[in-house]
Structure 1
Amino acid sequence: MQPVAICRHDAAQGPGHLIDFFDAHAIPWRLFAVDAGEMPPTRAGEYSGVVILGSPASVNDGLFWMRREEALLRDALRLERPVLGHCFGGQLLARTLGARVRRNSVPHIGWGRVLVTRFDEAAEWFGARRELELFHWHFDTFEIPRGAKRVLFGSYCMNKGFAIGAHLGLQSHLEVTADSVRLWCRNDGDEIRRNLSVSVQSEADILANLDARVTALHRLADRVYGRWAARLPGWHRIVVPVRPHTRPRGGESWGERLMRA
Protein backbone atom coordinates (compact mmCIF):
# COMPACT_ATOMS: atom_id res chain seq x y z
CA MET A 1 0.00 0.00 0.00
CA GLN A 2 1.25 3.48 -0.83
CA PRO A 3 1.62 5.93 2.08
CA VAL A 4 -0.74 8.78 2.85
CA ALA A 5 0.89 12.18 2.35
CA ILE A 6 0.36 14.50 5.36
CA CYS A 7 1.21 18.21 5.11
CA ARG A 8 1.91 20.00 8.42
CA HIS A 9 2.32 23.78 8.69
CA ASP A 10 2.66 24.43 12.42
CA ALA A 11 4.15 22.37 15.25
CA ALA A 12 1.08 22.90 17.44
CA GLN A 13 -1.21 21.78 14.60
CA GLY A 14 0.36 18.40 13.90
CA PRO A 15 -1.44 15.20 12.87
CA GLY A 16 -1.93 14.16 16.51
CA HIS A 17 -4.61 11.49 16.85
CA LEU A 18 -4.64 10.86 13.10
CA ILE A 19 -1.20 9.24 13.41
CA ASP A 20 -2.47 7.04 16.24
CA PHE A 21 -5.31 5.94 13.98
CA PHE A 22 -3.04 5.26 11.03
CA ASP A 23 -0.56 3.29 13.11
CA ALA A 24 -3.31 1.30 14.80
CA HIS A 25 -4.71 0.28 11.40
CA ALA A 26 -1.43 -0.37 9.58
CA ILE A 27 -1.83 2.60 7.23
CA PRO A 28 1.58 3.87 6.08
CA TRP A 29 2.11 7.62 6.03
CA ARG A 30 4.65 10.28 5.09
CA LEU A 31 4.79 13.61 6.92
CA PHE A 32 5.89 16.78 5.10
CA ALA A 33 6.83 19.34 7.76
CA VAL A 34 6.34 22.56 5.80
CA ASP A 35 6.88 24.59 8.97
CA ALA A 36 10.39 23.10 9.20
CA GLY A 37 11.25 24.02 5.60
CA GLU A 38 10.24 20.77 3.90
CA MET A 39 8.39 21.30 0.63
CA PRO A 40 5.25 19.27 -0.08
CA PRO A 41 5.02 17.20 -3.27
CA THR A 42 3.02 18.39 -6.27
CA ARG A 43 2.05 14.95 -7.57
CA ALA A 44 -0.20 12.42 -5.82
CA GLY A 45 0.71 9.32 -7.78
CA GLU A 46 3.05 7.98 -5.08
CA TYR A 47 0.41 8.35 -2.35
CA SER A 48 -2.83 6.55 -1.53
CA GLY A 49 -4.36 9.74 -0.12
CA VAL A 50 -3.58 13.30 0.97
CA VAL A 51 -4.17 15.01 4.34
CA ILE A 52 -3.79 18.78 4.72
CA LEU A 53 -3.61 20.03 8.31
CA GLY A 54 -4.19 23.44 9.87
CA SER A 55 -2.05 26.54 9.44
CA PRO A 56 -1.76 30.02 10.95
CA ALA A 57 -1.64 31.35 7.37
CA SER A 58 -4.60 32.11 5.13
CA VAL A 59 -5.10 30.16 1.91
CA ASN A 60 -5.42 33.57 0.22
CA ASP A 61 -1.82 34.47 1.06
CA GLY A 62 -0.60 32.76 -2.12
CA LEU A 63 2.63 31.45 -0.62
CA PHE A 64 4.90 29.15 -2.63
CA TRP A 65 4.20 26.06 -0.55
CA MET A 66 0.45 26.70 -0.81
CA ARG A 67 0.69 26.67 -4.60
CA ARG A 68 2.51 23.34 -4.37
CA GLU A 69 -0.19 21.92 -2.12
CA GLU A 70 -2.91 23.14 -4.49
CA ALA A 71 -1.12 21.31 -7.29
CA LEU A 72 -0.96 18.21 -5.08
CA LEU A 73 -4.69 18.41 -4.40
CA ARG A 74 -5.54 18.93 -8.08
CA ASP A 75 -3.54 15.81 -8.91
CA ALA A 76 -5.15 13.84 -6.07
CA LEU A 77 -8.60 14.82 -7.33
CA ARG A 78 -7.63 13.84 -10.87
CA LEU A 79 -6.35 10.46 -9.72
CA GLU A 80 -9.28 9.98 -7.31
CA ARG A 81 -6.98 9.72 -4.29
CA PRO A 82 -8.99 10.64 -1.16
CA VAL A 83 -8.30 14.08 0.34
CA LEU A 84 -8.93 15.01 3.99
CA GLY A 85 -8.67 18.65 5.05
CA HIS A 86 -8.58 19.89 8.63
CA CYS A 87 -9.44 23.63 8.99
CA PHE A 88 -6.87 25.31 6.67
CA GLY A 89 -6.84 22.00 4.81
CA GLY A 90 -10.59 22.17 4.32
CA GLN A 91 -10.25 25.72 3.01
CA LEU A 92 -7.49 24.71 0.59
CA LEU A 93 -9.56 21.79 -0.68
CA ALA A 94 -12.55 24.12 -1.19
CA ARG A 95 -10.36 26.63 -3.04
CA THR A 96 -8.89 23.89 -5.23
CA LEU A 97 -12.44 22.83 -6.11
CA GLY A 98 -13.23 26.39 -7.22
CA ALA A 99 -14.97 27.74 -4.10
CA ARG A 100 -14.19 31.06 -2.46
CA VAL A 101 -12.43 31.35 0.91
CA ARG A 102 -13.02 34.58 2.82
CA ARG A 103 -12.85 36.08 6.28
CA ASN A 104 -15.50 34.67 8.60
CA SER A 105 -17.83 37.18 10.25
CA VAL A 106 -16.21 36.41 13.63
CA PRO A 107 -13.17 34.43 14.81
CA HIS A 108 -14.09 31.01 16.17
CA ILE A 109 -11.81 29.57 18.84
CA GLY A 110 -12.49 26.86 21.41
CA TRP A 111 -14.87 23.97 21.93
CA GLY A 112 -18.28 24.32 20.38
CA ARG A 113 -21.17 22.37 18.96
CA VAL A 114 -21.89 21.87 15.30
CA LEU A 115 -24.96 20.30 13.74
CA VAL A 116 -24.94 17.47 11.23
CA THR A 117 -27.02 18.06 8.10
CA ARG A 118 -29.67 15.60 6.95
CA PHE A 119 -27.88 14.67 3.74
CA ASP A 120 -27.04 10.98 3.34
CA GLU A 121 -23.40 11.99 2.91
CA ALA A 122 -23.38 13.51 6.41
CA ALA A 123 -24.78 10.37 8.06
CA GLU A 124 -22.23 8.28 6.22
CA TRP A 125 -19.38 10.27 7.76
CA PHE A 126 -20.76 11.09 11.21
CA GLY A 127 -23.45 8.53 11.95
CA ALA A 128 -26.92 9.18 13.32
CA ARG A 129 -25.95 11.92 15.79
CA ARG A 130 -27.29 15.37 14.95
CA GLU A 131 -25.01 17.37 17.24
CA LEU A 132 -21.24 17.13 17.76
CA GLU A 133 -18.72 18.97 19.93
CA LEU A 134 -15.59 19.84 17.95
CA PHE A 135 -12.50 21.96 18.49
CA HIS A 136 -12.23 25.16 16.46
CA TRP A 137 -9.53 27.74 15.81
CA HIS A 138 -10.02 29.76 12.64
CA PHE A 139 -10.60 33.23 11.22
CA ASP A 140 -11.54 32.35 7.62
CA THR A 141 -14.33 30.24 6.15
CA PHE A 142 -14.98 28.43 2.87
CA GLU A 143 -17.95 28.37 0.55
CA ILE A 144 -19.32 24.94 -0.33
CA PRO A 145 -17.78 23.86 -3.66
CA ARG A 146 -20.04 23.10 -6.59
CA GLY A 147 -21.06 19.44 -6.52
CA ALA A 148 -20.22 19.04 -2.79
CA LYS A 149 -22.69 18.74 0.08
CA ARG A 150 -22.57 20.68 3.34
CA VAL A 151 -22.31 18.03 6.07
CA LEU A 152 -21.76 20.24 9.16
CA PHE A 153 -22.91 23.73 10.10
CA GLY A 154 -22.51 25.93 13.16
CA SER A 155 -23.76 29.06 14.88
CA TYR A 156 -20.63 31.18 14.41
CA CYS A 157 -19.70 29.76 11.03
CA MET A 158 -22.27 28.31 8.67
CA ASN A 159 -19.99 26.03 6.66
CA LYS A 160 -18.25 23.65 9.03
CA GLY A 161 -17.76 20.73 6.69
CA PHE A 162 -18.39 19.48 3.16
CA ALA A 163 -18.08 16.16 1.39
CA ILE A 164 -17.70 15.29 -2.26
CA GLY A 165 -17.14 11.64 -3.12
CA ALA A 166 -14.17 10.31 -1.18
CA HIS A 167 -13.07 13.81 -0.11
CA LEU A 168 -13.89 15.59 3.16
CA GLY A 169 -13.19 19.20 4.11
CA LEU A 170 -13.61 20.28 7.74
CA GLN A 171 -13.61 23.78 9.25
CA SER A 172 -12.59 22.31 12.58
CA HIS A 173 -10.15 19.89 14.18
CA LEU A 174 -10.61 16.19 14.94
CA GLU A 175 -6.91 15.46 15.28
CA VAL A 176 -5.98 17.55 18.33
CA THR A 177 -4.68 15.94 21.51
CA ALA A 178 -4.73 17.33 25.04
CA ASP A 179 -1.04 18.19 24.70
CA SER A 180 -1.48 19.93 21.34
CA VAL A 181 -4.39 22.02 22.66
CA ARG A 182 -2.28 23.13 25.61
CA LEU A 183 0.64 23.94 23.30
CA TRP A 184 -1.62 25.88 20.94
CA CYS A 185 -3.01 27.96 23.80
CA ARG A 186 0.51 28.62 25.06
CA ASN A 187 1.87 29.61 21.65
CA ASP A 188 -1.12 31.61 20.38
CA GLY A 189 -2.86 32.72 23.55
CA ASP A 190 -2.66 36.33 22.38
CA GLU A 191 -5.20 35.49 19.65
CA ILE A 192 -7.60 34.42 22.38
CA ARG A 193 -7.03 37.52 24.50
CA ARG A 194 -7.39 39.92 21.55
CA ASN A 195 -10.63 38.35 20.34
CA LEU A 196 -12.35 37.17 23.52
CA SER A 197 -16.10 37.10 22.79
CA VAL A 198 -19.05 34.73 22.58
CA SER A 199 -17.32 32.94 19.68
CA VAL A 200 -13.88 32.85 21.32
CA GLN A 201 -13.48 30.96 24.59
CA SER A 202 -11.01 31.90 27.28
CA GLU A 203 -8.00 29.67 27.77
CA ALA A 204 -9.48 28.45 31.05
CA ASP A 205 -12.67 27.37 29.29
CA ILE A 206 -10.74 25.66 26.51
CA LEU A 207 -8.69 23.66 29.02
CA ALA A 208 -11.61 22.77 31.30
CA ASN A 209 -12.42 19.02 31.24
CA LEU A 210 -9.85 18.76 28.47
CA ASP A 211 -9.05 15.06 28.75
CA ALA A 212 -12.72 14.03 28.67
CA ARG A 213 -13.44 16.32 25.73
CA VAL A 214 -10.47 15.02 23.76
CA THR A 215 -11.43 11.41 24.48
CA ALA A 216 -14.95 12.02 23.12
CA LEU A 217 -13.51 13.86 20.11
CA HIS A 218 -11.24 10.93 19.31
CA ARG A 219 -14.15 8.49 19.35
CA LEU A 220 -15.79 10.61 16.66
CA ALA A 221 -12.49 10.99 14.81
CA ASP A 222 -12.04 7.22 14.68
CA ARG A 223 -15.37 6.89 12.87
CA VAL A 224 -14.61 9.69 10.41
CA TYR A 225 -11.05 8.52 9.76
CA GLY A 226 -12.31 4.98 9.31
CA ARG A 227 -14.83 6.07 6.66
CA TRP A 228 -12.13 8.08 4.90
CA ALA A 229 -9.49 5.32 5.10
CA ALA A 230 -11.92 2.77 3.64
CA ARG A 231 -11.62 4.70 0.37
CA LEU A 232 -7.80 4.48 0.24
CA PRO A 233 -6.66 2.24 -2.62
CA GLY A 234 -5.00 -0.90 -1.30
CA TRP A 235 -5.88 -0.54 2.39
CA HIS A 236 -8.11 -3.63 2.44
CA ARG A 237 -5.09 -5.69 1.41
CA ILE A 238 -3.22 -4.80 4.61
CA VAL A 239 -3.91 -7.66 7.01
CA VAL A 240 -1.08 -7.23 9.55
CA PRO A 241 -2.65 -6.90 13.05
CA VAL A 242 -1.37 -3.81 14.88
CA ARG A 243 -1.93 -2.87 18.49
CA PRO A 244 -3.32 0.67 18.81
CA HIS A 245 -1.26 3.55 20.21
CA THR A 246 2.00 1.60 20.32
CA ARG A 247 5.22 2.15 18.46
CA PRO A 248 7.89 -0.40 17.57
CA ARG A 249 11.35 -0.17 19.02
CA GLY A 250 13.61 2.45 17.56
CA GLY A 251 10.99 5.22 17.49
CA GLU A 252 9.58 4.66 14.00
CA SER A 253 5.86 4.42 13.60
CA TRP A 254 4.18 1.23 12.48
CA GLY A 255 3.23 3.11 9.32
CA GLU A 256 6.83 4.04 8.66
CA ARG A 257 7.95 0.45 9.27
CA LEU A 258 5.40 -0.84 6.78
CA MET A 259 6.61 1.71 4.26
CA ARG A 260 10.22 0.58 4.76
CA ALA A 261 9.22 -3.07 4.45
Structure 2
Amino acid sequence: MKPVAILQHEAAQGPGILLDHLRQQDIPHVLLDPCAQGSAPANARDYRGIIVLGSNHCANEQLRWIENERCLLQSALQHDVPVLGHCFGAQMLARAMGARVWRNPCPNIGWSEVRITSRAQQLMDLPAQATLFNWHYDTFEIPQGASRTMYAQHCLNKGFVRGRHWAFQGHLEVTEASVRQWCSEGRSELQRASGPAVQSETQILAQLQPRVAQLHAMALRTYRAWTDQLDHQMSVSLGQPSEILSRFRLKSTDYLRMQL
Protein backbone atom coordinates (compact mmCIF):
# COMPACT_ATOMS: atom_id res chain seq x y z
CA MET A 1 0.00 0.00 0.00
CA LYS A 2 1.12 3.55 -0.62
CA PRO A 3 2.94 5.21 2.28
CA VAL A 4 2.94 8.81 3.43
CA ALA A 5 6.21 10.45 2.41
CA ILE A 6 7.98 12.53 5.07
CA LEU A 7 10.58 14.91 3.64
CA GLN A 8 13.10 15.69 6.39
CA HIS A 9 16.05 18.01 5.77
CA GLU A 10 17.81 18.47 9.10
CA ALA A 11 18.65 16.11 11.97
CA ALA A 12 17.17 18.41 14.61
CA GLN A 13 13.99 19.01 12.61
CA GLY A 14 12.47 15.55 12.52
CA PRO A 15 8.80 14.51 12.46
CA GLY A 16 8.65 14.26 16.26
CA ILE A 17 5.12 13.79 17.60
CA LEU A 18 3.81 13.51 14.04
CA LEU A 19 5.76 10.29 13.58
CA ASP A 20 4.22 8.97 16.82
CA HIS A 21 0.77 9.77 15.45
CA LEU A 22 1.41 7.94 12.17
CA ARG A 23 2.61 4.88 14.03
CA GLN A 24 -0.34 4.92 16.44
CA GLN A 25 -2.73 5.10 13.49
CA ASP A 26 -0.85 2.34 11.61
CA ILE A 27 -0.32 4.66 8.67
CA PRO A 28 2.56 3.44 6.46
CA HIS A 29 5.25 6.07 6.04
CA VAL A 30 8.72 6.53 4.59
CA LEU A 31 11.36 9.07 5.56
CA LEU A 32 13.14 10.80 2.69
CA ASP A 33 16.12 13.18 2.80
CA PRO A 34 16.13 15.26 -0.42
CA CYS A 35 18.78 17.64 0.91
CA ALA A 36 21.38 14.92 1.51
CA GLN A 37 20.35 12.87 -1.52
CA GLY A 38 20.34 15.90 -3.82
CA SER A 39 16.94 15.16 -5.31
CA ALA A 40 13.32 14.40 -4.47
CA PRO A 41 10.78 11.98 -5.96
CA ALA A 42 8.91 13.21 -9.03
CA ASN A 43 5.52 11.53 -8.82
CA ALA A 44 3.24 12.35 -5.88
CA ARG A 45 0.87 9.55 -6.90
CA ASP A 46 3.39 7.10 -5.44
CA TYR A 47 2.33 8.33 -1.99
CA ARG A 48 -0.83 8.55 0.05
CA GLY A 49 0.17 11.96 1.38
CA ILE A 50 3.26 14.19 1.56
CA ILE A 51 4.65 15.88 4.67
CA VAL A 52 7.38 18.50 4.26
CA LEU A 53 9.36 19.48 7.35
CA GLY A 54 11.64 22.44 8.14
CA SER A 55 15.04 23.26 6.71
CA ASN A 56 17.93 25.63 7.34
CA HIS A 57 17.69 26.55 3.67
CA CYS A 58 15.47 29.16 2.08
CA ALA A 59 12.64 28.01 -0.18
CA ASN A 60 13.88 30.49 -2.84
CA GLU A 61 17.39 29.03 -3.07
CA GLN A 62 18.32 27.79 -6.53
CA LEU A 63 19.18 24.22 -5.59
CA ARG A 64 18.28 21.11 -7.52
CA TRP A 65 16.62 19.31 -4.62
CA ILE A 66 14.51 22.36 -3.75
CA GLU A 67 13.29 22.58 -7.35
CA ASN A 68 12.60 18.83 -7.25
CA GLU A 69 10.51 19.29 -4.10
CA ARG A 70 8.55 22.11 -5.71
CA CYS A 71 7.79 19.88 -8.69
CA LEU A 72 6.75 17.04 -6.37
CA LEU A 73 4.33 19.35 -4.57
CA GLN A 74 2.94 20.57 -7.88
CA SER A 75 2.36 16.93 -8.76
CA ALA A 76 0.54 16.49 -5.44
CA LEU A 77 -1.66 19.50 -6.19
CA GLN A 78 -2.42 18.20 -9.68
CA HIS A 79 -3.45 14.76 -8.39
CA ASP A 80 -4.95 15.91 -5.06
CA VAL A 81 -2.45 14.05 -2.89
CA PRO A 82 -2.78 15.74 0.54
CA VAL A 83 0.20 17.87 1.57
CA LEU A 84 1.13 18.97 5.10
CA GLY A 85 3.83 21.66 5.28
CA HIS A 86 5.74 22.83 8.35
CA CYS A 87 7.68 26.14 8.14
CA PHE A 88 10.03 25.58 5.16
CA GLY A 89 7.47 23.01 4.01
CA ALA A 90 4.71 25.62 4.20
CA GLN A 91 6.82 28.03 2.15
CA MET A 92 7.48 25.31 -0.42
CA LEU A 93 3.76 24.55 -0.66
CA ALA A 94 3.04 28.25 -1.15
CA ARG A 95 5.61 28.38 -3.96
CA ALA A 96 4.12 25.28 -5.57
CA MET A 97 0.77 27.09 -5.59
CA GLY A 98 2.32 30.09 -7.33
CA ALA A 99 2.60 32.36 -4.26
CA ARG A 100 5.65 34.42 -3.29
CA VAL A 101 8.03 33.74 -0.42
CA TRP A 102 10.02 36.64 0.96
CA ARG A 103 11.78 37.94 4.07
CA ASN A 104 9.50 38.55 7.05
CA PRO A 105 9.85 42.03 8.62
CA CYS A 106 11.62 40.42 11.59
CA PRO A 107 12.93 36.98 12.58
CA ASN A 108 10.48 34.75 14.46
CA ILE A 109 12.39 32.46 16.83
CA GLY A 110 10.96 30.85 19.96
CA TRP A 111 7.47 30.49 21.39
CA SER A 112 4.77 32.89 20.28
CA GLU A 113 1.00 33.24 20.32
CA VAL A 114 -1.04 32.79 17.15
CA ARG A 115 -4.69 33.54 16.48
CA ILE A 116 -6.68 30.95 14.58
CA THR A 117 -9.57 31.63 12.23
CA SER A 118 -12.99 30.15 12.94
CA ARG A 119 -12.84 28.00 9.82
CA ALA A 120 -9.51 26.52 10.86
CA GLN A 121 -10.82 25.87 14.35
CA GLN A 122 -13.57 23.69 12.92
CA LEU A 123 -11.58 22.06 10.12
CA MET A 124 -8.38 21.34 12.03
CA ASP A 125 -9.78 20.90 15.55
CA LEU A 126 -7.79 23.90 16.76
CA PRO A 127 -8.46 26.33 19.61
CA ALA A 128 -9.05 30.06 19.01
CA GLN A 129 -5.44 30.78 19.91
CA ALA A 130 -2.36 28.72 20.60
CA THR A 131 1.37 28.91 21.32
CA LEU A 132 3.60 27.60 18.54
CA PHE A 133 7.31 26.99 18.34
CA ASN A 134 8.93 29.02 15.57
CA TRP A 135 12.30 29.39 13.91
CA HIS A 136 12.02 31.26 10.63
CA TYR A 137 13.09 34.40 8.80
CA ASP A 138 10.83 34.22 5.76
CA THR A 139 7.10 34.38 5.18
CA PHE A 140 4.72 33.72 2.29
CA GLU A 141 1.69 35.27 0.68
CA ILE A 142 -1.59 33.36 0.87
CA PRO A 143 -1.87 31.43 -2.41
CA GLN A 144 -4.73 31.97 -4.81
CA GLY A 145 -7.72 29.87 -3.78
CA ALA A 146 -6.35 29.31 -0.27
CA SER A 147 -7.47 30.94 2.97
CA ARG A 148 -5.47 32.10 5.98
CA THR A 149 -5.77 29.85 9.03
CA MET A 150 -3.40 31.52 11.51
CA TYR A 151 -1.95 34.98 12.10
CA ALA A 152 0.32 36.58 14.67
CA GLN A 153 1.56 39.98 15.78
CA HIS A 154 4.92 39.79 14.03
CA CYS A 155 3.98 37.52 11.11
CA LEU A 156 0.61 37.95 9.43
CA ASN A 157 0.48 34.70 7.49
CA LYS A 158 1.13 31.83 9.90
CA GLY A 159 -0.86 29.24 8.01
CA PHE A 160 -3.22 28.52 5.13
CA VAL A 161 -5.46 25.80 3.76
CA ARG A 162 -6.55 24.88 0.27
CA GLY A 163 -8.57 21.72 0.04
CA ARG A 164 -6.66 18.83 1.61
CA HIS A 165 -3.41 20.83 1.61
CA TRP A 166 -2.46 22.45 4.91
CA ALA A 167 0.49 24.71 5.75
CA PHE A 168 1.81 25.93 9.11
CA GLN A 169 4.45 28.67 9.38
CA GLY A 170 5.65 27.13 12.61
CA HIS A 171 6.27 23.79 14.27
CA LEU A 172 3.62 21.59 15.87
CA GLU A 173 5.82 18.51 15.68
CA VAL A 174 8.72 19.43 18.00
CA THR A 175 9.60 17.46 21.13
CA GLU A 176 11.55 18.49 24.23
CA ALA A 177 14.60 16.71 22.84
CA SER A 178 14.38 18.33 19.41
CA VAL A 179 13.96 21.84 20.84
CA ARG A 180 17.02 21.34 23.05
CA GLN A 181 19.03 19.96 20.13
CA TRP A 182 17.91 22.82 17.90
CA CYS A 183 18.99 25.38 20.49
CA SER A 184 22.32 23.64 20.96
CA GLU A 185 23.07 23.53 17.23
CA GLY A 186 21.81 27.09 16.72
CA ARG A 187 23.41 28.70 19.79
CA SER A 188 25.59 31.07 17.79
CA GLU A 189 22.62 32.01 15.64
CA LEU A 190 20.53 32.79 18.72
CA GLN A 191 23.30 35.05 19.98
CA ARG A 192 23.28 37.00 16.69
CA ALA A 193 19.53 37.18 16.09
CA SER A 194 17.55 40.12 17.39
CA GLY A 195 14.09 41.61 17.13
CA PRO A 196 10.73 41.74 18.91
CA ALA A 197 9.92 38.10 18.04
CA VAL A 198 13.28 36.53 18.97
CA GLN A 199 13.75 34.69 22.24
CA SER A 200 17.00 33.70 23.90
CA GLU A 201 17.92 30.09 24.54
CA THR A 202 17.01 30.57 28.19
CA GLN A 203 13.58 31.89 27.27
CA ILE A 204 12.98 29.08 24.78
CA LEU A 205 13.87 26.37 27.29
CA ALA A 206 11.96 27.92 30.21
CA GLN A 207 8.95 25.78 31.18
CA LEU A 208 9.75 23.58 28.19
CA GLN A 209 7.93 20.47 29.43
CA PRO A 210 4.49 22.07 29.96
CA ARG A 211 4.82 24.10 26.76
CA VAL A 212 5.58 21.01 24.70
CA ALA A 213 2.82 19.03 26.41
CA GLN A 214 0.28 21.73 25.57
CA LEU A 215 1.56 21.91 21.99
CA HIS A 216 1.32 18.12 21.58
CA ALA A 217 -2.28 18.06 22.76
CA MET A 218 -3.18 20.47 19.99
CA ALA A 219 -0.88 18.88 17.42
CA LEU A 220 -2.31 15.39 17.82
CA ARG A 221 -5.84 16.65 17.26
CA THR A 222 -4.68 18.58 14.21
CA TYR A 223 -2.70 15.69 12.75
CA ARG A 224 -5.68 13.39 13.28
CA ALA A 225 -7.85 15.80 11.31
CA TRP A 226 -5.31 15.87 8.46
CA THR A 227 -4.77 12.11 8.30
CA ASP A 228 -8.54 11.55 8.38
CA GLN A 229 -8.52 13.15 4.91
CA LEU A 230 -6.13 10.56 3.50
CA ASP A 231 -7.55 8.00 1.12
CA HIS A 232 -8.41 4.91 3.15
CA GLN A 233 -6.17 1.94 2.52
CA MET A 234 -5.24 -1.22 4.37
CA SER A 235 -2.24 -0.45 6.59
CA VAL A 236 1.03 -2.34 6.29
CA SER A 237 4.24 -2.05 8.24
CA LEU A 238 7.27 -0.61 6.48
CA GLY A 239 9.66 -1.39 9.28
CA GLN A 240 11.71 0.96 11.41
CA PRO A 241 13.22 4.11 9.86
CA SER A 242 16.48 3.79 11.80
CA GLU A 243 18.57 3.30 8.66
CA ILE A 244 17.24 6.52 7.14
CA LEU A 245 17.54 8.45 10.40
CA SER A 246 21.13 7.33 10.77
CA ARG A 247 21.99 9.18 7.57
CA PHE A 248 21.11 12.46 9.26
CA ARG A 249 23.78 11.83 11.89
CA LEU A 250 26.37 11.62 9.12
CA LYS A 251 25.29 14.80 7.37
CA SER A 252 27.53 17.86 7.34
CA THR A 253 26.91 20.41 10.07
CA ASP A 254 27.92 23.22 7.70
CA TYR A 255 24.38 23.99 6.55
CA LEU A 256 23.50 27.65 6.24
CA ARG A 257 21.52 28.65 9.31
CA MET A 258 20.00 31.60 7.50
CA GLN A 259 16.53 30.27 6.88
CA LEU A 260 14.03 27.53 7.71
Length-normalised TM-score, structure 1: 0.88
Instruction: Supply the distance in 1 between the matched residues of 2:42 and 2:62 (Cα, whole angstroms).
Output: 15
How much has 1:16 moved relative to structure 2?
1.1
1:185 aligns with 2:183: yes
* SS of match in other structure, 1:144: coil
1:127-138 equivalences in 2 (<5 Å): 127=126, 129-138=127-136
Give the structure 1 partner of residue 249 of structure 2: none
How much has 1:38 moved relative to structure 2?
5.8
Q: Is the 8 A contact 2:50 2:83 kept in 1?
A: yes
How much has 1:24 moved relative to structure 2?
0.7
Q: Is the 8 A contact 1:90 1:170 kept in 2?
A: yes
Q: Is the 8 A contact 1:122 1:152 kept in 2?
A: no
Which one-letter code corresponds to 2:226 in the other structure? W
Instruction: Supply the distance in 2 between the matched residues of 1:36 and 1:66 (Cα, whole angstroms).
Output: 11
Give the structure 1 partner of residue 14 of structure 2: 14
Among candidates 126, 129, 149, match of residue 147 of structure 2: 149
How much has 1:54 moved relative to structure 2?
0.3
* SS of match in other structure, 2:46: coil
Structure 1 residue runs without a partner (length 5+): 241-247, 257-261
Give the structure 2 partner of residue 112 of structure 1: 112
Q: C-alpha offsets along residues 231-255 of structure 1, whole Å, 9 cap, x if unaligned? A: 11125x54x9xxxxxxx9xx826xx
Length-normalised TM-score, structure 2: 0.88
Give the structure 1 partner of residue 256 of structure 2: none
Q: Is the 8 A contact 1:17 1:175 kept in 2?
A: yes
Q: C-alpha offsets along residues 99-149 of structure 1, whole Å, 9 cap, x if unaligned? A: 11000000000011000123x24431133x211001000000000001101
1:89-100 equivalences in 2 (<5 Å): 89-100=89-100
1:86 aligns with 2:86: yes
Number of matched pairs: 241
How much has 1:211 moved relative to structure 2?
1.3
Which one-letter code corresponds to 1:124 in the other structure? L
Which one-letter code corresponds to 1:71 in the other structure? C
How much has 1:197 moved relative to structure 2?
3.3
Instruction: Supply the distance in 2 between the matched residues of 1:186 and 1:40 (Cα, whole angstroms).
Output: 29
| Seq. identity, % | 45
Among candidates 240, 244, 259, match of residue 252 of structure 1: 240
Structure 2 residue runs without a partner (length 5+): 245-260
Instruction: Supply the distance in 2 between the matched residues of 1:101 and 1:155 (Cα, whole angstroms).
Output: 19
Instruction: Supply the distance in 1 between the matched residues of 2:43 and 2:68 (Cα, whole angstroms).
Output: 9
Q: Is the 8 A contact 2:148 2:157 kept in 1?
A: yes
Root mean square deviation, CA, Å: 1.8
Give the structure 2 partner of residue 64 of structure 1: 64
1:227-238 equivalences in 2 (<5 Å): 227-235=225-233, 237-238=234-235
Instruction: Supply the distance in 2 between the matched residues of 1:37 and 1:76 (Cα, whole angstroms).
Output: 21
How much has 1:95 moved relative to structure 2?
0.7
